[in-house]
Structure 1
Amino acid sequence: MSAADRSTEEKVGSPDDLIRTASGSGKGTSETSVSPEKQDDQDQTVILSKYETSWVHRLLTPPNCRWDPSVPHELTYSLCILYATAASFTVANLYYNQSILNKIAETFGVSYETSSQVPTLMQAGYASGLIFVLPLGDILERRFFIIGLVSFTAIMWIGLCVTNNFTAFRAISFICGMTTVTPQLMVPLVGDYAPPNRKATSLSIVSSGLMLGILIARLLAGVVANYTAWRNIYWLGCAIQFLLAILLFAFFPDYPSTNPDGLNYFKALWTVIHMMLTEPLLIQSGLMAFCISGVFTSFWTTLTFLLASPPFEYSSLQIGLFSLLILVIVIVIPALGPFMDRYEPLLPLLCCGAITMIGVIIGTFTGTFSIAGPIIQAICIDIGHQMGAIVNRTAIFTINPKARNRLNTAYMACAFAGQLTGSAVGNRLYAQGGWRYSGYCSIGLVTAMILFALARGPHETGWVGWSGGWELRKVRPSKVEQRSDGEQTA
């Protein structure tokens, strides 16, 4: 390959680079001289990377993190674990407060009902971040964007540690919730750079990190607040955020923007709505996300009422120990990754529906007299919920590689709507008819999810149907290459 060819490849691979041209004939102004021995009749193009032309990029990007388009960039397991760690300790921000609302109420002199506004506002901020912050992942360079979000959240978190004003505490909680979207930025990033045969496996590792973060937050908050002042859990969370920012600064690769030519922010927001109305695969995945998320939140919100009532009458501590079941999910989901990678999304989604249905039926009809029922239901629902999210994301990320953050925004909007619906409907049905009424609703939602999965075949490109065949195993790229002389080589 000629030097000119290599230069052209570098220019395509690094859109942000500064290009300087040296004339082969020696005419005109040139910042770079070309030796006579290496001059061709044609002009030579010399490309300087942004690290050579910008002291800011040199200062803020360690050499091991600098982007080089000439080397492979497949996601390694070490980077995957880094992203899972980031997802774990950032999503924890949303859950520290849930175990200490009574102590927050005592400190600020408000009622328990008023103190419950803190997690509500933080979740509302998170939802706002999914809609208005997450699409920026398709516009900005992700290294600086993600590290900036983590650093900003850590700085704002100091306010939660020191303020004595409840209004300020609530306002800062909303802002921190809005900037705690790092876990959802990691998911499309994995979709971009994980090898095709390991996408689901890599996504499952990040998803497991996210689930582990929820468990860590609840357990740490309960233990720390039980033996020390509740503010200490916020100070600990603040320290973790700063340490995470340092860790990401040291090892997070400087991935190029997925839209290097620029993308208008408001146009990006509009494309989210447009894709939700025009992409059959996204609509199908969104409907399934709505159903499975509704089942998930309906179960976990009504479980507390069941376990606190006869015949169980468990304490808050005993009920809280149910969160340890997340450890099962953290282990099982990565183990299912190769299965999800091997087959078209339809088969894993049907398995997801079957596992969830089995758990819901067992828990619904045995949960009123046996603790084994809710335990089995919790494990099956959590596996189904995470498995469905991984498979659906793997599928929708194929729609437009340059819009994966916006696709994730659309998907999470559907999932969040399902969570709100499941929580509200589950609570209402439990109040009217008890545990089994809410269980019947979950059975209906799982049935709807399975029907949505079956509405489109594994190779269907339209809205409904089974055109393209029934083959469920993914077709691997052929390893046989055609040589220029026509002979095939393995």
Structure 2
Amino acid sequence: MSPTSSTTLSRSLVFLLAIGAGLGVASLYYSQPMLGVLGADLHASGETLGWIPTLTQLGYAFGILMLAPLGDRYDRKHIILIKAAVLSLALLLASVSSTVGLLLAASFAIGLSATLAQDIVPAAAHLAPAEQRGKIVGTVMTGLLLGILLSRVVSGFVAEQFGWRMMFVAAAVSIVALGAALWRGLPRFVPSTQMAYRDLLGSLLTLWRQHPSLRRAATAQGLLSLGFSAFWSTLAVMLHGEPFHLGAGAAGAFGLAGAAGALAAPLAGRVADTRGPLAVASLGAGLTMVSFAAMIFLPFLSAHAALWLIAGSAIGFDLGIQTSLIAHQSIVYGIDPAARSRLNAILMTGVFIGMAAGGALGSLALAHWGWTGVTVVATGAAAAALAMRLWPATSRASTPAY
């Protein structure tokens, strides 16, 4: 069955792909709210526990770079199903871990196999008719973003009521069910290249050099991700101190503000289909910059007013960043249909680099200049992304420099 026509992409299949992307990426974040309970059970120090989410993210980054390109070489359906099987086993291994060392190994495997989410998104782009690609990718991204947002809420509740091991068991069962549904509902994909694996990885650099639109999209989205990470990596620390004195639960609650960005993803994709992705990417970057800049007034507000401003800004920049991401995916997926998995790997590697840099720079800024420093870092990164989108493209490369 060759997915070459729009008839292969029913509404139910779009819904299934959205759920699959959400469940896959949620596996990265289940451990974060459970670290305190988990540490007490395994008698691990806070420093050691910090390696659990770190190795999960490193596994994800490694998987994006080293495994996601395989989607162009082999049937994406088989790759997704294999990763689903490995992910369910890794989650089960985490649930029975009796030592931190075993849990760390399971965490890396979880991150590695959770990249099935990054196989599902280009699969949706491949199945979608060109005139609806932005809308459909936006819908699948809604599932992915809701998976990120809701994973911490669900795992915190389950761990508190039933224990942290049960959360990993429940996650494994959900992935098994997902695999069964995808096995039945997902069509097969014809490979777009016969490159050897070494050549496939080498082509990532070739694609980067060849397509200025790819470089601009990956760099601009990486800058927006830098600001995003600078904010969220320091929010809990800021809320814990003067004048708020709020716990980690409060910081997690602010994450629900990002639901606005997730739910707006299909709309952003629809606008990208009709008005063009460049305008949408620029609009998203501008909204992100303004939302970050508004928080410069936090030191001059009462604690109550400051919390409202943080919530409003979080809604604004989450919406802006997700809008830009959908637009950048529309740009990237339109460059070369035969290389969509590799193009997606490059784009998401840029996002990950931005997230890692944002966490480091945000913590440094908070330590030396307080929340004002974090705001300046985030606003500056968003302004640079907007400038990159608005700066006239003069390249004579073979593809439009969106």
> Is TM-score (shorter-chain normalized) higher than 0.5?
yes
| C-alpha separation in 2, matches of 1:461 and 1:111 | 52
Q: Is the 8 A contact 1:362 1:376 kept in 2?
A: no
Matched, 1:76 2:10: yes
Quote the residue 2:315 is aligned against: 379
The Cα shift of 1:73 comes to 4.2
Matched, 1:346 2:282: no
Aligned positions of 1:470-489 closer than 5 A = none
| C-alpha separation in 2, matches of 1:82 and 1:452 | 35
Matched, 1:425 2:361: yes
Quote the residue 1:357 is aligned against: 289
Quote the residue 1:229 is aligned against: 163
The Cα shift of 1:387 comes to 1.2
Choose from 407, 410, 413 the match for 2:343.
407
> 1:317/1:69 Cα in 2 relative to 1: closer, same or farther (>3 Å)?
closer
Quote the residue 1:7 is aligned against: none
Matched, 1:306 2:242: no
Q: Please report the RMSD computed on the Cα atoms of aligned residues, expressed in angstroms.
A: 2.0
Q: Is the 8 A contact 1:158 1:238 kept in 2?
A: yes
Amino acid paired to 1:349: A
Aligned positions of 1:108-257 closer than 5 A = 108-257=42-191
Normalized against structure 2, the TM-score is what?
0.94
CA deviations 1:201-241 (Å, max 9, x no partner) are: 11111111111111221011111111222111011111111
Quote the residue 1:268 is aligned against: 200
CA deviations 1:282-317 (Å, max 9, x no partner) are: 111111012101011011112112211222211222
The Cα shift of 1:156 comes to 2.7
Deviates more, 1:322-331 or 1:137-146: 322-331
Amino acid paired to 2:118: Q
Amino acid paired to 2:342: R
Choose from 206, 209, 212 the match for 1:277.
209
The Cα shift of 1:69 comes to 7.4
Aligned residue pairs, count: 397
> 1:450/1:72 Cα in 2 relative to 1: closer, same or farther (>3 Å)?
closer
Deviates more, 1:185-194 or 1:358-367: 358-367
Amino acid paired to 1:283: R
Q: Is the 8 A contact 1:363 1:376 kept in 2?
A: no
| C-alpha separation in 2, matches of 1:72 and 1:426 | 44
The Cα shift of 1:425 comes to 0.7
Give % identity: 27
Quote the residue 2:269 is aligned against: 337
Matched, 1:395 2:327: no
Matched, 1:321 2:250: no
Amino acid paired to 2:385: M
Quote the residue 1:446 is aligned against: 382
Q: Which has the larger radius of gyration?
A: 1
| C-alpha separation in 2, matches of 1:360 and 1:320 | 19
| C-alpha separation in 2, matches of 1:379 and 1:367 | 20
Which structure has the highest helix share of the two?
A: 2
| C-alpha separation in 2, matches of 1:72 and 1:333 | 21
Q: Is the 8 A contact 1:273 1:410 kept in 2?
A: no
> 1:461/1:199 Cα in 2 relative to 1: closer, same or farther (>3 Å)?
farther
Quote the residue 2:228 is aligned against: 296
| Relative contact order, higher structure (CA 8 A, sep 6+) | 2
CA deviations 1:394-430 (Å, max 9, x no partner) are: 1112221111111111111111111111111111011
Unpaired segments of 5 or more residues in structure 1? 1-66, 473-490
| C-alpha separation in 2, matches of 1:274 and 1:125 | 24
Amino acid paired to 1:120: T
Normalized against structure 1, the TM-score is what?
0.77
Q: Is the 8 A contact 1:355 1:381 kept in 2?
A: yes
| C-alpha separation in 2, matches of 1:233 and 1:173 | 14
Deviates more, 1:341-350 or 1:238-247: 341-350
Q: Is the 8 A contact 2:260 2:318 kept in 1?
A: no
